[in-house]
Amino acid sequence: MSNREALLRALREQALDIRRNTWRALHAAGSGHMGGSLSAADLLAALYFHHLNLRPEEPDWPERDRFVLSKGHANTALGAVLAQAGFVDDGFIDTFYAYESRFGMHPDIKVPGVEMCTGALGHGLSVGLGMALGSRLQGKDWRTVVMLGDGELQEGSNWEAAMAAAHLAPLRLTAILDYNKVQQSGHVAEMLGLEPLADKWRAFGWSVRECDGHDMEAIVDALDALPAAPDKPSLLIAHTVKGKGASFAEDTYLWHNNLVGDEVYEKAIAELGEPA
Ligand SMILES: [Mg+2]
């Protein structure tokens, strides 16, 4: 097996573990947001175990890349990947939404590795832009990556940040859109459509690339090709499926968030198959 094949295989296993640990956290709490956590799992695996330059044993390392999960309701997937990468203990996953736990419904900077409290949607790209400016002003090399949700893009603040980022470029700033086409109350196209989305971002001065957000090879290829243009911020539109990996939860707003009892948990875990 080549090094690249071994990398892709390892990343696919990490993504499956993010999904398993997402369900584990949700089961511990009895409920939470699964749809947008499961759609983002492959992207998070590629970011944390391939793309981002991080030191889990030194989470505040000044030269680290910055990652902001702007779609903060996907915090179970973030908690899972932080545990898998070693920022927090494995037992952290079982504390999801427990009394006085740092692992809440949305990311909290009290958790090692979390850069921003998010979940009030539409703020992550502006703060990420500030982080990218900070890198440039300090003459540093670290990069900033912001993960956006599609429903979130209905917030006007994203477009202000997009406009400002293009104006202030060059910046080491990448936005990744987890484009699962579903938001809390329905399909995005029916609630408030975004298309033609790539054209809109290009018109705002961004370099845009699209990929299948569940095809690990395509994700790694896209991340390795960053920045897509030296003088523009980059957007990766990752086409995903909400609730990916759980047949009953895919492509429906009903599993944006929901209850997770024993029956749901066991069904979801069984569908993911045996760990490698
Ligand atoms: Mg969505």
Whose structure tokens read 């999960």? Answer: 69
* Gap from CA of 36 to ligand 1 centroid (Å): 6
* Gap from CA of 182 to ligand 1 centroid (Å): 4
Both tokens assigned to 7: 């990398």
- 24 to each of 76, 129, 156, 168, how far by Cα in Å? 9, 33, 35, 42
* Gap from CA of 217 to ligand 1 centroid (Å): 22
Instruction: State the Cα angle at 257 between 214 and 103, rounded to 5°.
Output: 85
* Gap from CA of 197 to ligand 1 centroid (Å): 14
pLDDT, position 70 = 98
pLDDT, position 220 = 98
* Gap from CA of 61 to ligand 1 centroid (Å): 32
pLDDT, position 228 = 83
* Gap from CA of 27 to ligand 1 centroid (Å): 22
* Gap from CA of 185 to ligand 1 centroid (Å): 10
User: What does residue 174 show for φ and ψ, rounded to 5 degrees?
Assistant: -125, 135
pLDDT, position 179 = 98
Q: Which residues surround ligand 1, an ion (CB under 5 A)?
A: 149-151, 180, 183
Residue 22's closest CA among 242, 252, 236?
Answer: 242
* Gap from CA of 31 to ligand 1 centroid (Å): 18
* Gap from CA of 82 to ligand 1 centroid (Å): 22
* Gap from CA of 218 to ligand 1 centroid (Å): 20
Residue spans of the chain under pLDDT 70: none
CB 28 within 8 A of CB 13: no
pLDDT, position 276 = 81
Question: What class does CATH assign to 3-272?
Answer: alpha beta
pLDDT, position 56 = 98
pLDDT, position 230 = 87
pLDDT, position 275 = 86
pLDDT, position 184 = 96
User: What does residue 251 show for φ and ψ, rounded to 5 degrees?
Assistant: 55, 35
Q: Tens of pLDDT along 150-206?
A: 999 999 999 999 999 999 999 999 999 999 999 999 999 999 999 999 999 999 999
